[in-house]
Amino acid sequence: MTETVTALTHLEAAEELIRGERGAIQIVGRALTPEEERRLAALAEADAAITVAVGHLTQTPCTNGKETISFLPDGRYAFAGITFAATLRVDTDVCGIVSGDVFALAGETQEYLLSFRTVPGKTVDGESTELLVIGEDADGQLSTGRLEILSHQDRVATISICFDEALRGFRPNHAEQMTGRHESTAMRTLGIEIEHEIGTEGNPQWTFNGRTLDITRCFQDAGFDVRRIGHASEIPEAPGVGWDSSQLHGLMSDYAQASLDRSDWELHLLLLSRAAEPRLLGIMFDSGRGDMNLLPRQGAAVFQDPMQSLGPTWRRKLLQTSVHELGHALNLAHPFEREIGRADSTSFMNYDWKYMGGDSVARYWQDFTFTFNDEELSFLRHGRRSAVIPGGDGFHTVPYWKQGDGGYVPYKPDRPTSAFSLQLTTPDNDGIFNFGQPVLLTVTFHNHLLRPFTLPPFYLDPKAGFLSFVVNRIGGSLSPDVGAGSVFRPIVMRCYDFDPATADTIPSNGSMRNNVNLTYGSAGFTFAEPGEYVVTARLELRFQANDYLTMYSAPMRIRVAYPKTDDEERIGMRLLRNDIGCYFALGGSDVLNKAESDLIEIEERLQGKDEYIANGLVANIRRCRAINTAREFVSYVDGKYMHRSANPAKARSLLSSVGPAMSRFFDPATADYTRAMLSTEDENAAK
């Protein structure tokens, strides 16, 4: 026994040294060098090895009677058994929840098995050491279970966990014991890489209640150990028209190439001057697991120029927007969404112009305390690992707002309206698309009122979140239930600012329209199989004070033709690659080289020597290439930024062969944008 105690004392001393060294590296106040990153990783490994050693030494708890076991102090614990490792998060103070993640130990690596949390609605008070939990494994299986604190002394504890049903790696009703220790007062760890454009603010700060807050502080307050990571090179100035989504997707991909070995709890934030779209404040990249840049929900960008009109308080908005975008990357949604119904939320995740339904910007900033709301905090601190972790579950697929403990203020129910209508239009192709041909539609909002009506100009941009699309496959294997359609989610999400002075006015009996590209979203290809689909557009809008409408278009039938020849089928299958989907979704890209060269090859094969284009796929490939040629592109290669100029003349020549058949290949809005590209030097007109 004394030997064990001596060994434990030595291990603790070693651990103390390691922790001190880790702390010293972490707080250097700048991004870490690769050498420092490597040292930090080595120290973390040494620390984990000590935790395992301590676990082995204390496996058999001392049997000195039935003393009461004190509850674990709040914080994060690292546990290890023979075959399992676990992280436990004890949180009696903020959320009243205990949660954790379990991993299988396999040599050097850990395989994620499941997450668990105490039963929703039951607050953990720190009295009982036996807790009812719900586990959910990586396959989505659920089971109730029990977590028991078996012993606890000086922040070293032994727990047992047991589930009623089989979960991945767990037999039913089998108690697994693990020993571990307190690691941190924070619930989770998060690495944040911030890069900024030359001439922009690189470290947003705001003093609130006597504390100087920055991005790191805000996430620390939410329960994260935050670590600044990455290379702090300055991004060159924005291209003339501002940064567009494809360009930024390209930069994020370049960064990812430089650091593919990074673990998942890491976020990348770009602080930039301005976007190509006016009044765009922030975007979050969500291009799905299959994307070549491996960055679903791992990166965001924030644009400062539109905020500067606010005067001295613009930095407050910059900090709020930066945390807001990173919040999206951690899978938080907008609380004002109808589905969530928390327009009264003073969270980072609300928009000031949507607060209390609108017209309450000043009030939002009065009420805002630089915090997330309760259900967001529970989710960030205790949500299932894959639901929260950047790169995990798809954005908006985890309805954490339904698991809250109240405070839910639902909107009034939908009501039908004859005031407005929403219409979808296909190209002049009777709604029949070739297998593999991109699907773009025009969406038109009609105002049937006897007076003008105003809408924010971005309302018909699906990336802004107010306009959405439900897609049903008729029959087939993708979605056998008609009616159980899936909601299309774009690979980029955009958060806009709104000033009523900049609203678009739609006259009585007038309309407003936009093109929407449904080809490829964060869940992959929307029309991945030949057959019939029904697409319905849905728009949420504020009619007048406290009167909200959800409008639906008439269902639009889309037919994806079966390939007529083997060659056509082969081409169609080749097109169903994620990089090609991204290429179509982004209007081309300099970083998706393989996609581009394959598309050019397909285009040449289909087009041959013909002067005019007769194939919708060829027309769409040409259009994407033209859009990309007409934009400037900044890339990051081998630690240096490279600039490629725009070439509008070449873009026009790519499109000239589309010529007379424009309306057969493109819906009316896309055809208009394409014609505008043909007739002007101004690449701004392209969309």
Closer Cβ to Zn ion, 495 or 551, answer by number = 495
Closer Cβ to Zn ion, 382 or 463, answer by number = 463
Closer Cβ to Zn ion, 158 or 345, answer by number = 345
Residues at the contact surface with Zn ion, assessed by CB under 5 A: 495
One-letter amino acid of 640: K
**Cα–Cα distance between 293 and 581 in angstroms, integer?**
13
Are 685 and 676 within 8 A, CB to CB? Answer: yes
Q: Cα–Cα distances in Å, from 39 out to 188, 263, 555, 590? A: 21, 15, 58, 35
Shortest Å, Cβ 328 to Zn ion: 5
Closer Cβ to Zn ion, 96 or 394, answer by number = 394
Shortest Å, Cβ 347 to Zn ion: 11
Closer Cβ to Zn ion, 103 or 496, answer by number = 496
Outline where 394-523 has alpha helix (H): none
Shortest Å, Cβ 280 to Zn ion: 11
Closer Cβ to Zn ion, 284 or 443, answer by number = 284
Q: Crossing angle for the helix pair 593-607 and 578-586, nearest 10 degrees? A: 80
**Phi/psi at 91 (5° precision):** -145, 75
The CA-to-CA distance between both ends of the chain, in Å, stands at 74
Closer Cβ to Zn ion, 162 or 495, answer by number = 495
Closer Cβ to Zn ion, 396 or 622, answer by number = 396
Shortest Å, Cβ 176 to Zn ion: 40
Q: Crossing angle for the helix pair 616-629 and 668-679, nearest 10 degrees? A: 50
Are 292 and 398 within 8 A, CB to CB? Answer: no
For the record, the structure tokens of 624 come out as: 């994407």
Shortest Å, Cβ 352 to Zn ion: 12
Instruction: Enter the DSSP assignment of 501.
Output: G
For the record, the structure tokens of 567 come out as: 């060659």
Shortest Å, Cβ 647 to Zn ion: 34
Closer Cβ to Zn ion, 244 or 286, answer by number = 286
**Cα–Cα distance between 340 and 379 in angstroms, integer?**
14
Shortest Å, Cβ 361 to Zn ion: 16
Closest CA to 447 of 467, 417, 421, 415: 421
| Spatial CB neighbours of 378, under 8 Å, sequence gap ≥ 6 | 95, 97, 400, 403, 404
Q: What is the DSSP string of 91-125?
A: ETTTT-EEEEEEEEEETTEEEEEEEEEEPTT----
Closer Cβ to Zn ion, 43 or 495, answer by number = 495
Strand blocks (E) in 492-530? 492-496, 504-506, 511-517, 520-521, 524-525
| Spatial CB neighbours of 509, under 8 Å, sequence gap ≥ 6 | 446, 447, 448
Closer Cβ to Zn ion, 347 or 444, answer by number = 347
Shortest Å, Cβ 387 to Zn ion: 18
Q: Cα–Cα distances in Å, from 317 out to 196, 304, 358? A: 16, 9, 17
Closer Cβ to Zn ion, 411 or 466, answer by number = 466
Shortest Å, Cβ 366 to Zn ion: 21
**Cα–Cα distance between 251 and 145 in angstroms, integer?**
45
Shortest Å, Cβ 281 to Zn ion: 8
Shortest Å, Cβ 446 to Zn ion: 28
Residue 294's CB is within 10 A of a number of other CB atoms, namely 18
Shortest Å, Cβ 283 to Zn ion: 9
Closer Cβ to Zn ion, 301 or 602, answer by number = 301
One-letter amino acid of 297: R
Closer Cβ to Zn ion, 306 or 436, answer by number = 306
Closer Cβ to Zn ion, 97 or 270, answer by number = 270
Shortest Å, Cβ 498 to Zn ion: 12
3-state SS class at 645: coil
Shortest Å, Cβ 351 to Zn ion: 7
Closer Cβ to Zn ion, 351 or 665, answer by number = 351
Closer Cβ to Zn ion, 350 or 437, answer by number = 350
Token match 């029990």: residue? 146
Q: What is the DSSP string of 21-38?
A: HHHHHHTSSSPPPHHHHH
Instruction: Enter the DSSP assignment of 454.
Output: E
Closest CA to 633 of 163, 276, 181: 276
Are 617 and 434 within 8 A, CB to CB? Answer: yes
Shortest Å, Cβ 452 to Zn ion: 28
Closest CA to 408 of 400, 416, 396: 400
Are 113 and 138 within 8 A, CB to CB? Answer: yes
Q: Which residue is nearest to Zn ion (CB)?
A: 495
3-state SS class at 577: coil
Shortest Å, Cβ 293 to Zn ion: 21
Are 621 and 595 within 8 A, CB to CB? Answer: no
**Phi/psi at 621 (5° precision):** -65, -45
3-state SS class at 216: helix
Shortest Å, Cβ 369 to Zn ion: 19
For residue 578, the Cα-to-chain-centroid distance in whole angstroms is 17
